[in-house]
Amino acid sequence: MKIGIIGVGKMATAIIQGLKKGQDQLIISGSNLDRSKEIAEKLEVAYAQSHQDLLDHVDLVILGIKPQVYETVLAPLTFKQPVMSMAAGVSLAKLAELVGSDLPIIRIMPNMNAQILKSTTALTYNDKVSSDLKAKCQQIVASFGSCFEIAEKDFDTFTALAGSSPAYIYLFIEAMAKAGVAHGLPKDKALEIVSQTVLASANQLLQGQDSPHSLIDKICSPGGTTIAGLLELERTGLTAAVSAAIDKTIEKAKKM
């Protein structure tokens, strides 16, 4: 398949790195021809003379432009192929207005871990997308991480749980590392210890044999150190704070 990418920022670049592992032919179009040539040489992909030139020669187009310029960039263009968008806040209905209501339209919501080909990505479609195209879209998303097919109405929740949450996780890791420093460990050593522990703990969960609650119970011994720390986390409101942060993130997303 010939896949075109309009707009080649950090996220689109990360996606291209994943797609390059496959057999698809990739063509890009940047903000201008000189920029397209520069990026294409760096990424070792083909480039189009213009956005419309790209659209005239590809089987599927991925939009990597910022949501605030969608109308300006897309209005002069004529689309004839399926369109995949990664823009936050641009609904399937809005995309249909911009590119054509008779076209198959796909929305994806990757997160920053796409940069290491470990994105957690949401995927949804309009009713024009065939089963074969759905499978192809899932393959595209899987090239740079994990894929979760969800209803569009749940995209704001997904954004909070997968898009924004890395920042919250980094804050937790940073707090743990600072505590290590307070008790005498060098900062780099404390960060490595906490990061490796978080990674292994997540992998333990993904094996699917135990729930978070059961794993907590396995770690806590009666009258031990872990239960003392857990009770302090509950006393100071960790669970409520995390839940409130997700609520606030979703609330903000719905207003954008």
Annotated binding site: 6-11
Per the CB < 8 A criterion, the answer to whether 161 and 246 are in contact is yes
Cα separation, 129 vs 112, in Å, equals 26
Question: Which ranges of the chain does DSSP label H, i.e. alpha helix?
Answer: 10-19, 33-43, 51-55, 70-74, 92-99, 131-142, 155-158, 165-182, 187-206, 212-219, 225-235, 238-255
Binding-site residue set for NADP(+): 6-11
CA 146, 147, 149: angle at the middle one, nearest 5? 160
CB atoms within 10 A of CB 143: 20
Which residue type sits at 161? L
CB atoms within 10 A of CB 14: 22
